[in-house]
A and B are shown apart, each in its own frame.
Chain A
Amino acid sequence: MDYIQEGFKEALKLLIGFDKEVYGIISLSLIVSTTATIIASFLCIPLGIHLGLKEFKGKRAFSRILYTFMSIPSVIVGLVVAILLSRRGPFGKFDLLYTPKAMIIAQTLLVTPLILGLTYSLSKNRGKEIERIGQTLGGNKLDIIILIIKELKLDLMVNIVTAFSRAISEVGAVMIVGGNIRNRTRVITTTISMMNSMGDYPMAIALGIVLLIISFGINSLIYSYSGDD
């Protein structure tokens, strides 16, 4: 039991002492996952709303495929991105593998089906009524998409937070495309995984605490916002 207590003490020392490496890892994690979530949200929210409202051939099949991709394993996304970005791959010339950019690409692809699927489902179920009202009040297509985003903003925020949580807590994709290189591509989850295998618990515990604090902070924010509403 002593080593766990020691682990916690050391973890707190690292956090309170603003350990450069620990905070570097935390900030890279936040940058990568936030950027990926923002990119995916900008692309998928308008598209998900549009597809949810639109009637098209094969909509049921599309729904099934989309919902399947929502739970795609992160290692598969990592593998696909790694193959595409490797020297011999179609995008090898850009020299992106083992860089934070590659990690952002992988996490964007990981959360894209999640945000698209959740938004699509929301729009399919609740967007039609808002669309009808928007139409009868004279809104054009863009007005209506903006109206739906505003009306469903709380649900959309929950979707975005869900996607961010998936991004920041995944380890497979960033490990494969980032390579867990010290001071370059090391993020919270890859560090915890590595420290655990090395038996070096203080930093793993410190980063675990930070991960929990981030989750708690984001959920509190959403909760207080919905309470206001």
Chain B
Amino acid sequence: MKTLTDNWSTYWDGFLGTLLLFAVSAVMSLVLGVLIASFRVSPVKPLRVFGTAWVTLLRNTPLTLLFFIVVLGLPRFNITLPFYTFAVLALGCYTSAFVCEAMRSGVNTVPVGQGEAARSLGMTFGQTMGLVVLPQAYRSVVAPIGSVMIALAKNSAIAGSFSVTELLGTYRTINELGYSIIWTFVWIAVGYLIITLAISAVFNLLERRLAVSR
């Protein structure tokens, strides 16, 4: 307990750092993921190929390698941004591939007849999507996206090793002050549990809200 109370500000900074990193990269990955998903289901072939290549490559790239490339490689192209932005970029791009797949399989669960029926009623493309297809797709997307978001929060721990303030990285500071290393990690673990459990609670709530008896 002393480990926690004595180093409260270090832990708190790390906790907030992880939360912020998670929130920013979550937004980025969701936006990018939806964009790439729309590429992958679009009738335009080059976009489809681009989306498929993006997803295939990123899903099979180790995140550490991606961090390595983004954090240490982009500066060689004379692109210098703060480490934090690099970390968000790496996490966001990586996660977008998984968000894209979740979205795409969600849209694919909507029966073809739904779209056909909407169009025979004279609905435009926007109406078909907004009123018929997407509301049904949302429901089957919530659970997989939740699982991806939890994984994103956990993956953000890698950023700590690339000079970004976050929860796991706090162990170095606290360790140097000579506190029990086991307890240091116990409190770090508690911090991550709080974050992952909170995310899963939010998504459970969303799922229940959107659930419809069929």
A and B co-occur in one complex: no
B interface with A by C-beta (< 8 Å): none
A interface with B by C-beta (< 8 Å): none
